[in-house]
Structure 1
Amino acid sequence: MEWLALLMFICVCIVLLSGYPVAFSLAGTALIFAAIAVATDQLNPVILKTSFSRLFGIMQNPTLIAVPLFVFMGVMLEKAKIAEKLLTSMASLFSRSPGGLAISVVIVGALLAASTGIVGATVVTMGLLSLPIMIKSGYSVPLSTGVICASGTLGQIIPPSIVLVLLGDVIASANRDAGIGADPISVGDLFAGAMLPGLLLVILYIIYILLFARAKPEQAPPIKLEAIDENNQTDSQFDWSALLLPLVLILLVLGSILMGIATPSEAAALGAVGSIFLAIFYREFSWQRLKEVVRSTTKTSSMVFMILIGASVFSLVFRAFGGDDAIRDILHSLPGGVFAAMLVVMFCMFILGFILDFIEIVFVIVPITAPALLAMGVDPIWLGVMIAVNLQTSFLTPPFGFALFYLRGAAPDYVSTQQIYRGVLPFIGIQIFVLILIAIWPQIVTWLPSIIYK
């Protein structure tokens, strides 16, 4: 029945391309194929009963509680205008240097990525806040759009990231499926492994901006504070509280996980409560705003868990058809061993990143391919970070990168799509360079977890 599994995978990709909701596409396609297989006596219907225990297991999974809490934290910081305060303060610090505003966008984007972990929210927020200011200040449109898109996708890799939370849970399950161990890695391991690659990307972004500003100073000029502060607060100076308070909150959340003081769910609860206190401190809290944050959090979390339920049903039927055995046999038979298997999987995920969001890839593609790779001896933490950086690169790549669509929706009409595409190309090169570095030297990923959890 392995051919049924592969045919089902092709069909679900076609259904997704038609624009039908992801969760229902996954579950509906799987159930239709399961019904056909049961009607033709190729599948025992008893297998489908295990789907209820799978759904119950999802509801009992303590790690997944962190998802709505991290989403709440990010949305509250966004609604409380923390990003606007961060951008204004950082720009006032770097504004007198060539490329200083672009560097501010990278730093603020990294902090927002660490606090929200949602690519779309970060790209749209930075697009609305910083793009008009950068263009008004004489910055090159391609540089401005490229910096915003690249900074927004840092939410894929900089912890605490929702992507890493979901990846950690899925890869731990893949380890059990591969028979390697009961639970050899945790979300904290993945957070620690992603720290150095995330910082490396931020540093390389800043180096590129400095080199660009040095080569073409007229396209990344120093700016005046009047161009930054649209509220005419021209005498304002760098506000340390705008930087330090969100940074302290992020460090508390991340540090409590890395030090083993709190679980991801407990740390996410700390972040959610902390974001409320920050909103109160900045006098941006109201019951109406809280209702908006709760409503947005509910919508996002419902989408994630609906996709997870659909992917669970799809994965059950796919394995019942022997699809996991087919994938394992294909990867094991490739000439070149582990290197070829990793290359094929990374390439397929990169291409699928054009049409699928990270949630679908994490819940559908990773459970199918990860057990075979882990059984071949691939380090689970390294695999998780490689997937995260790979998807981050895919989301930047024209013509289908999700970050490009998000910015296109937030950008003014006079910013062309071609300018957005041209602007992200250098940052795609940086992403690929870091991906190659991680592939050649896995210690970039594995060193910090080995130090913290030795």
Structure 2
Amino acid sequence: MKKEIWFGLSILVALVITLFALMPAPADMTNGHVGLLMLALVVIAIMLGFPTAFTLMGMGVMFAFYAFYSRDPGQAWQQTLDLMVQRAYSVMANDVLISIPLFVFMGYLVERANLIERLFKSLHIAMARVPGSLAVATIVTCAIFATATGIVGAVVTLMGLLALPAMLKAGYSTQLSAGAITAGGCLGILIPPSVLLIVYGATAGVSVVKLYAGALFPGIMLAALYVGYVLILAKLKPSVAPPLSEEERRVALPAHATAIMAGGSTRALPGLMGALKRSRPAGVAQRTVVTQLFVALLPALALALFLGLGYRAFTAPADAPTAMVEMGAAQELPPETSYNGGLEEPPIEGGLEEPPVEGALAEPPAAAAPPAAAPIPATEASSTPAQPESQDAPRAYWIAMAICIALAAAFYAYFSFARLEIFKMLLGSLFPLAFMILAVLGSIVFGLATPTEAAAMGAFGGILLAVAYRRFNFGMLKESAHLATKTSAMVCWLFVGSSIFSAAFALLGGQEIINSWVLSMDLTPIQFMLLAQVIIFLLGWPLEWTEIIVIFMPIFVPLLAHFNIDPLFFGLLVAMNLQTAFLSPPVAMSAFYLKGVAPPHVTLNQIFLGMLPFMGIQVLGIILLYTFPAIGLWLPELLYK
């Protein structure tokens, strides 16, 4: 047997002996203590490399049998098997989990379509004059690609192949290069459509739609903090991230652009418009000039569309007052018919007697009839209402419009043919992917589609992108489906194992002991939140986010109601905190992903050192989110009041 196996077994035995030493004497041990022992053994087994799902399942079955056997030995086997079937069926019947394979499939399609190479190249050239441009382009590319895939390993691996050699060749620090790639790749844990948020929502019973809406701005904030750190570091220490040379900034121009520029104009818009009015340069077709002019005018057309939609929204007529009167609302009755009292009849002179008339049973004359009551407002409103008039646009709209037009004029004043080529590169790499992401997330956040429906459309959009970039084939489709099936099966087995484990833990009374222990400390909500986040932060060192979510969230979530903490807000903090599971040594999975594709001279210690500043930025992001909860709660409260 290998030495490593003996070493692992010896550690397991030592930890088990330590656990039994800390446990009370067998005579004083309750089933709750056995549940805590099961929890500790599961964590130890996972740390030693045992499969997480089957470890949870095996431990749960054994300790559930123990719990049932201690109550009724004759029914222990039957009750244990019933528990396994019921928990597995409850996972299979969970509709939220259907979106996981579809989102994963979409991610693998985008990855196999090789869009990340085009995206990184275009962003790299577009940000050539920004300090630390390569690192900034890497983080932005990781954020966009992580949003499209949500698979940390895939993003870190691909960016390690594309961006790391480019940054090292440009003279960037190894630590900064490694930190930018690993931190940017981990953004897929937080930014929707994140599989982590789906798993947390299914575990904690929180709406995935609200989680997606709440995680959008914290994810953007964290990416902005990363970019800000790189910009400041590149400005203060140019040797860490040297600026690109003029040769690397140069953009190759096509023949028609060179021919038009020979006419005297280096700006794209005047040059193309002049080529239409006067004689075109030799060898440049009119169709080419018209096409290039249309592409150059796309930002102006988009701005005009945006301003037009804004004007229409601001000047839309106000809703006409409805003719409906709220039930129970007080209505003024005419003085002749007004009365006091709940259900009593309106008072009339003479009590219940008929009005005196001449003759026996003759009806009272028409002139003696009481005056008709004035019509109530609801009767008046029943007539055809007048058409509401359009409102005037507010002054703020005209100010914003003037600012946008001024910015557009400044943009086109410096819009050269080189920038036109960069814009075309972005148009072919960034905008299709961004449009697909915004369509998927927008349909979820604004309630147009469920996460499952949006994931299905996203997967179809991934196929269309692969077809558009001529990367689609049966082999790519088969490989993407195979990888998505493997990942989805892993997540589903995790849920089955964690469900059985949680049931056994509750049967043994472990949850009650933890609840009593936490409540006995008489913590304030702030202290409990700090304690929970510190525990999750420490668990992120040896464990991955999947184990933390499925094992420990069922322990924390029941305590939130006592401390009056919103599970949605707690989930956002957990999602941001769990990124440390990929950035904190010694079990920083993103570091090992990067090391697997990095050049031989890049050591694991250098990667760890590069990740530490970004892990500090994550802690700062958690503090900002806790101090200003509106960062995560404003959008869900606005959309789902």
TM-score (norm 2): 0.66
Residue identity matched to 1:3: H
**After superposition, where does 1:301-312 map in structure 2 within 5 Å?**
301-312=488-499
Does the residue aligned with 1:219 lie in a helix, a strand or coil? coil
- Measure the CA separation in 2 of the matches of 1:389 and 1:225: 39
Residue 275 in 1 paired to residue 462 in 2?
yes
Q: 2:64 aligns with which of 22, 34, 55?
A: 34
Q: 1:349 aligns with which of 519, 536, 544?
A: 536
Residue identity matched to 1:26: L
What does the per-residue CA deviation read over 1:69-109, in whole Å, with 9 as the maximum and x for residues that have no partner? 00001111111111111101111101233201111111111
- Measure the CA separation in 2 of the matches of 1:320 and 1:59: 22
Match of 2:447 in 1: 260
CA separation of 1:362 and 1:449: change in aligned 2, threshold 3 A? same
Match of 1:165 in 2: 198
- Measure the CA separation in 2 of the matches of 1:438 and 1:198: 11
- Please identify the structure whose Cα radius of gyration is greater: 2
Match of 1:179 in 2: none
Residue identity matched to 1:55: A
- Structure 1 residue 224: Cα displacement: 5.3
**After superposition, where does 1:102-251 map in structure 2 within 5 Å?**
102-172=135-205, 185-223=206-244, 237-238=422-423, 239=425, 240-251=427-438
TM-score (norm 1): 0.92
Does the residue aligned with 1:167 lie in a helix, a strand or coil? helix
Residue identity matched to 2:204: I
8 Å CA contact retained: 1:12, 1:26: yes
- Measure the CA separation in 2 of the matches of 1:56 and 1:39: 23
Residue identity matched to 1:255: G
8 Å CA contact retained: 2:540, 2:584: no
Structure 1 gaps, min length 5: 173-184
Higher share of residues assigned helix: 1
Residue 452 in 1 paired to residue 639 in 2?
yes
- Measure the CA separation in 2 of the matches of 1:104 and 1:294: 30
CA separation of 1:283 and 1:307: change in aligned 2, threshold 3 A? same
Does the residue aligned with 1:384 lie in a helix, a strand or coil? helix
CA separation of 1:295 and 1:198: change in aligned 2, threshold 3 A? same
Match of 2:518 in 1: 331
Match of 1:10 in 2: 40
Match of 2:566 in 1: 379
Q: Percent identity?
A: 42
Q: 1:66 aligns with which of 89, 99, 112?
A: 99
- Structure 1 residue 289: Cα displacement: 0.6
CA separation of 1:254 and 1:39: change in aligned 2, threshold 3 A? same
Residue identity matched to 1:308: F
Q: Which range is displaced more, 133-142 or 411-420?
A: 411-420
8 Å CA contact retained: 2:99, 2:451: yes
Match of 2:509 in 1: 322
- Measure the CA separation in 1 of the matches of 2:72 and 2:566: 36
- Structure 1 residue 253: Cα displacement: 0.5
RMSD: 2.0
Q: Which range is displaced more, 50-59 or 431-440?
A: 50-59
Does the residue aligned with 2:147 lie in a helix, a strand or coil? helix
Match of 1:91 in 2: 124
CA separation of 1:17 and 1:436: change in aligned 2, threshold 3 A? same
- Structure 1 residue 226: Cα displacement: 7.2
What does the per-residue CA deviation read over 1:197-219, in whole Å, with 9 as the maximum and x for residues that have no partner? 11111111111111111111122
**Which runs of 4 or more aligned residues in structure 1 lie more than 6 Å from their structure 2 counterparts after TM superposition?**
225-229
- Structure 1 residue 355: Cα displacement: 2.4
Structure 2 gaps, min length 5: 1-30, 255-417
